[in-house]
Amino acid sequence: MTTWVTDLRHLPCVDEPGVPAAAARRAEFVRELVEAATARRVDRSWCSAVRCIARSGRKSCGARIQVGQAEAGRVEWSCATCGEAGVITGFEGTEHDLSGHRLRKKKVRVWGFDDESRELLRAATTHIPALRAVLARARPVDSVPGLLVVDGTVDEFDEMYTLVEHLTDATRSRRRRELLDELRAGLCTAIDGF
């Protein structure tokens, strides 16, 4: 069982050349955890959509990671399946600190999507922190394997819808277009509040 202690400022940048694949993967994992932990106003730790990257032999653990902020400036995370855990500091005020995009309104809608959509949209929102914050709030639903849900405002989902429309116009891949069509339908449902 490993406990990782990471200062976000010491990680390699997203596109830094020459970084070994394993180090780049771990840096991305840490950034995802910081985004999840800062994007929701929750007192206790909660189960995020982020998947564990610990390896046992040739298989990656893949379980969802529990995240929380026990105190300001300190993210704690753990994997209930393999026991890996860690502490992250040094993220406050960085672009991965999404605490400025937490939900303030009480009246929110719920939007559901899956891991594949989450990956697609994360890649498309690298420079849109307000929308990355929406994705970072995603959490699994125990009763429906594979389903992730987020709370958000109608305005946030509207903005996400516009992004998905742009992505649909720009794609030539049939698979990607199908996925984007599903996302638009899901967002419509969330916006209408059915």
- Interacting residues with Zn ion (CB under 5 A): 52, 54, 61, 63, 79, 81-82
Q: How far is the CB of 78 from Zn ion (least distance, A)?
A: 9
Nearer to Zn ion, 82 or 128 (CB): 82
Q: How far is the CB of 166 from Zn ion (least distance, A)?
A: 35
Q: How far is the CB of 85 from Zn ion (least distance, A)?
A: 9
List Cα–Cα distances, 188 to 42, 121, 124, 178, in angstroms: 27, 16, 19, 15
* Residue 179: CA count within 13 A, CB half-sphere: 16
Q: How far is the CB of 79 from Zn ion (least distance, A)?
A: 3
Centre a 10 Å sphere on the Cβ of residue 103 and count the other Cβ atoms it contains: 18
Nearer to Zn ion, 59 or 174 (CB): 59
Nearer to Zn ion, 36 or 54 (CB): 54
Q: How far is the CB of 113 from Zn ion (least distance, A)?
A: 23
Nearer to Zn ion, 63 or 128 (CB): 63
Q: How far is the CB of 61 from Zn ion (least distance, A)?
A: 3
- The encoded tokens of residue 38 equal 């800062």
Nearest to 109 by CA among 157, 37, 142: 157
Nearer to Zn ion, 81 or 126 (CB): 81
Q: How far is CA 101 from the centre of its chain?
A: 13
Nearer to Zn ion, 27 or 190 (CB): 27
